Each structure stands twice: as structure tokens, then as C-alpha cells.
Amino acid sequence: MIKSVSDFTDTMTRRSVCGFALLAPLCAKSRKLSAELLPLQFAGPLGIDAAWFDRQAKRQQLRIAQGSAEHIAYYFLQSKSFTSLEPIEPMRAAHAKLPLPQLRADHFLAAKPEGERHRIIRNLYDGLHWPLERCYEHTLSFLRAKEIDQAPLDQLYQSRGLSSDTSPDSLTGLSSIDIPAKRVLLVGPGLDLTRRENFSDDLPLKSYQLESLRARYPLVDAVDIRPEVIAHLGATPHDLTTQILPAQYDLIIATNVFVYLNDAELLCALTGLSLSLPVGGVLIHNDTRFAAKVFGESLQLPVEKYQPLSLGGRKWDRLVIHRKGPQ
């Protein structure tokens, strides 16, 4: 989406570069990934074949819808932009098993979108064809499973809806990355559209990671699966689990993305990304699962190091750094 003169200039520069087929790599569309490209010793046991890819396309549509439902619920519960009713904290609603707050729902549905955030949420709602009650119930049941029933986090996230959640905390990992690169790919930039906690209508509608990387590297492409992220950031539509990028990068960054993938999806994602890395190219993510190490080795993309990160207080994360080796 072009919102200012400088955005417009950037876009035009990138378009004309594409026209001459020089630098900008993402002029072409993503291609389909297929089972033959995956390491056989894992693809078979994980049940990945042509039919798996057909089912996966449908599964991703459902997960995008579930992610939209979360964004819609967090917004209609907490925004002050369309109502004078007090905001409702999603966790309070989950704990108290509050029925749908009908008056707030009515105000949301009757409001004319004024700001960009409301317009995006309204578009998600109109495209989803789920009643508000279903968005609300879906979101509360996820919160209950996570925070009250304390379901195992890895399983919960691997079947969770795909939302575009991000926050300034997403820069903590990036600031410690000190890898020289000409061509960088950010997978899943996210968009600060809604939050479960500390939501404000004044949050900047942006991807903190994309902005920060573009200030540090000469060429940064972004790919994403969610429609509002693609439209708002001018990212390229791409599903990591079913597609291959038509370009090469020296550095690929994907934080808080792999945790949404089960092992079969992770194998597909690593296979696709490894095809976009030349020898010496680096992939950075934050999923410390053993499978990422084992799959990486079979793709000549071994883990080079695990880099601990302090997120403040007693919270820690870890960057996983893979480097592409010779075939």
C-alpha cells in the first residue's frame, strides 16, 4: 500500500528495477513445492505426498480464517474507535466465560470504518463470512486452552490460526544479528494490527522488523501468507509450506513463524528456503525444535549456532542460525 511520497518513490524504484531484471529478486511469482524435492527419509514417514499438498492448501485457508477471527475479536473487544463502551480485556472475558458482549458487537458492526485499522478489520470480517460470535468463541477457546488449561504450547501453536501478531519486542532478536548481506528476505514480517494485551488504537500499523531491516540492508524483500500484511506492506504472497521462492538471498530471517508449523510443514519450509540460499547463505529463526536441526542437516543447511537472547526479566529466547554448505 502506498501511503506517502517516499513509499511511492520506493515502489516505483523497485518496479523499474524489476523491469530491467536487475536487482529486485521478487518480480516473479512463487512456484509450487512438491514431494520429490523433499529429503525422502523424512517425507515418507511424515506422509508428505501430492495429496498432502492439496490438503495443506485447504488447511492454510482455515488457519488464515482463524487468525482473522482472533484479530477481529481482539479489536472489537478493546478498540475505543467505534464506541464509548469500556474496553473488555480478552483474558477477563475468557476467565469469566463472558457471553458475547452484544452491545459492543452491535456498535462494531454498525460503525462506518474511519481509520485504516478499522477498515482492515472490517475487510477481514467481511471476507471471513463468520458471525462475530464465532470469532469471539474461537478466540476465547484458544485463550482458555493456553492460559487456563495450560495445554502444551508446541501442540497448541502448531494448530493455531495464523495471525500477524508482532510488537517492538520482535526487534530484540534482530538487533543482535550482525551478518553482512546484500539481499535479505524477511519471512512473516507481521503487522501490529491488534494485541491481546496493551492494545491501543494508536499503535503504529507497521512491521517493526521490516522497518529496522530496511534501515540496515540495501535490499530487503518480505513475504507473507496473510492478506492484510501483503496489502499493507507491499509484501509478496507466499506460503512457506507449499511454495518455493523464485529468488536467492544471502540472509533469510523468520522469527515467530516456524512455531506455527508442525514437523511436516517445517520440513517443507526448510526445503523451500534452502533452495533460496546460495552456499554460505544464512537462515535465522527461533524454533529450537530438534527436527529443525535434523532436517537442516539433511538439506545441507546445518545449524551453525544457537544464540541465547534475553527478552527481559526471566524471559529468554534463542536464535537458531543455519548456514548453507556445499552440496
Residues that bind ligand SAM (CB under 6 A): 162, 164-166, 170, 188-190, 209, 224-226, 229, 238-241, 255-257, 260
CB of 26 to ligand SAM, least distance (A): 13
Instruction: Kindly tell me which of 43 and 261 has the beta carbon lying closer to ligand SAM.
Output: 261
Query: Cell numbers at residue 194, please?
Result: 491488534
Instruction: Kindly tell me which of 32 and 80 has the beta carbon lying closer to ligand SAM.
Output: 32
CB of 237 to ligand SAM, least distance (A): 9
Helix H or strand E encompassing 291: helix 290-298
> SS3 for 195?
coil
CB of 63 to ligand SAM, least distance (A): 8
Other beta carbons within 10 angstroms of residue 27's beta carbon come to: 17
Instruction: Kindly tell me which of 164 and 271 has the beta carbon lying closer to ligand SAM.
Output: 164
CB of 201 to ligand SAM, least distance (A): 20
Residue 226, phi then psi, degrees to nearest 5:
-90, 140
CB of 223 to ligand SAM, least distance (A): 6
CB of 228 to ligand SAM, least distance (A): 9
Instruction: Kindly tell me which of 139 and 255 has the beta carbon lying closer to ligand SAM.
Output: 255
Which among 30, 24, 61 is positioned nearest to 238, based on CA atoms?
30
CB of 224 to ligand SAM, least distance (A): 5
CB of 64 to ligand SAM, least distance (A): 8
Other beta carbons within 10 angstroms of residue 25's beta carbon come to: 20
The position carrying cell 548456514 is 323
Instruction: Kindly tell me which of 188 and 296 has the beta carbon lying closer to ligand SAM.
Output: 188
Contact 237, 225 (CB under 8 A): yes
| Separation of alpha carbons 105 and 28, rounded Å | 42
Q: What is the CA radius of gyration of the chain?
A: 20
CB of 242 to ligand SAM, least distance (A): 8
Task: Please provide the DSSP assignment of 5-43 as one string.
Answer: HHHHHHHHHHHHHHHTTSS--TTSPPEEP-GGGS-HHHH
Contact 290, 297 (CB under 8 A): no
Which among 130, 91, 132, 141 is positioned nearest to 108, based on CA atoms?
132
Instruction: Kindly tell me which of 105 and 229 has the beta carbon lying closer to ligand SAM.
Output: 229
Instruction: Kindly tell me which of 223 and 299 has the beta carbon lying closer to ligand SAM.
Output: 223
Which among 230, 121, 242, 120 is positioned nearest to 186, based on CA atoms?
230
Tell me the angle at which helices 102-110 and 50-78 cross, rounded to the nearest 10 degrees. Answer: 100
Residue nearest to ligand SAM (CB): 188
Which among 16, 31, 93 is positioned nearest to 239, based on CA atoms?
31
Instruction: Kindly tell me which of 101 and 190 has the beta carbon lying closer to ligand SAM.
Output: 190
Instruction: Kindly tell me which of 238 and 323 has the beta carbon lying closer to ligand SAM.
Output: 238
Sign of CA dihedral 195, 200, 205, 210: negative
